[in-house]
Structure 1
Amino acid sequence: MQAVKMYTTAVCPYCIQAKQVLKSKGVAQIEEIRIDTDPAQRQQMMELTGRRTVPQIFIGQTHVGGCDDLVALDKQGGLLPLLNAV
């Protein structure tokens, strides 16, 4: 399974929802990068994604986007193939 990295904050309902979706697909470990406690990580997230909001989700090297993007990818049937890509 691909590594999953998520930029997040402590109090973010969309981050919680995204984690629930990923866990329901069998993701056991999510590398969480807290941008509320590390401003340098927030800057890095914005440089990588061009976005200011959390969550920002990466599966392997692919930037999925935020929670809505993750849910849309799942509904289109693209989430599991991306998670299971070699």
Structure 2
Amino acid sequence: MGSYNGKVYNTPEEAEEYVKETIKAHPVVLFTKRFSPYCYKATSAFKSINVQYEEILLSGRSDCQIIQDVLLKMTGARTVPRVFVHENCIGGGNETSALNKEGKLKKLVDKEEDAPKEEPAQENQASTEQQEEAKPAEEQTSEEKPKEEQAEDQKPAEEQKADEAQEAEATQEDQKEQTAQE
């Protein structure tokens, strides 16, 4: 298995700029890790509806933890995958798969592509909704939180522990891989 040879982001500010630019530049972006069944679920969902996506593989990257911290700040979760459609986080593998099974994933991707682009003057005026989304997750009421975060809050404790255990295992695998490469 090869190591990551691209640009490394050493500060949270650099990583945040990279993540935001990547999300803005591509209609669909997935932050993933190797060997994750949840990441496989998400990529399979997009492949099944013939939607191209930008995949940012975090495995083997020395800046993996920094990028995941940025994703935590932006979405309320640092687990992978973190899936973005038209700059909005729709959640992880389970949420993406569920949207696909309900026939909503393709519509979500297509909806934004067909929508007219806002004028630059409108972009400078933040709507109340955008201001609410900008609040840190811990300050948002359940009505203000994005649907994927509400679902995350309502996950059974066992499922949350399983997600955390899977994340810890993937991180350990990445660390072993890095150590073996050095």
| TM-score normalised by L of structure 2 | 0.42
2:73 aligned with 1:13 = no
Larger strand share, 1 or 2: 1
Could you tell me which residue of structure 1 aligns to residue 51 of structure 2?
A: 27
Q: Secondary structure at the match of 1:84?
A: helix
Q: Which amino acid aligns with 2:58?
A: R
Could you tell me which residue of structure 1 aligns to residue 116 of structure 2?
A: none
Structure 1 residue 11: Cα displacement: 2.4
**Consecutive unaligned residues in structure 2, runs of 5 or more:** 1-25, 114-182
Could you tell me which residue of structure 2 aligns to residue 56 of structure 1?
A: 82
**Consecutive unaligned residues in structure 1, runs of 5 or more:** none
Structure 1 vs Structure 2 CA RMSD? 1.9
Structure 1 residue 81: Cα displacement: 0.9
- Select the structure of larger CA radius of gyration: 2
Structure 1 residue 47: Cα displacement: 0.6
- Preserved contact between residue 17 and residue 67 of structure 1 (Cα < 8 Å): yes
Larger helix share, 1 or 2: 2
Higher relative contact order (CA 8 A, sep 6+): 1
Structure 1 residue 33: Cα displacement: 4.6
Quote the Cα distance in structure 1 between the aligned partners of 2:83 and 2:59: 13
Structure 1 residue 75: Cα displacement: 2.5
The structure 1 segments of at least 4 consecutive aligned residues displaced by more than 6 Å after TM superposition are none
Work out the percentage of aligned pairs sharing the same amino acid.
Answer: 31
Structure 1 residue 29: Cα displacement: 3.2
Q: Secondary structure at the match of 2:41?
A: helix
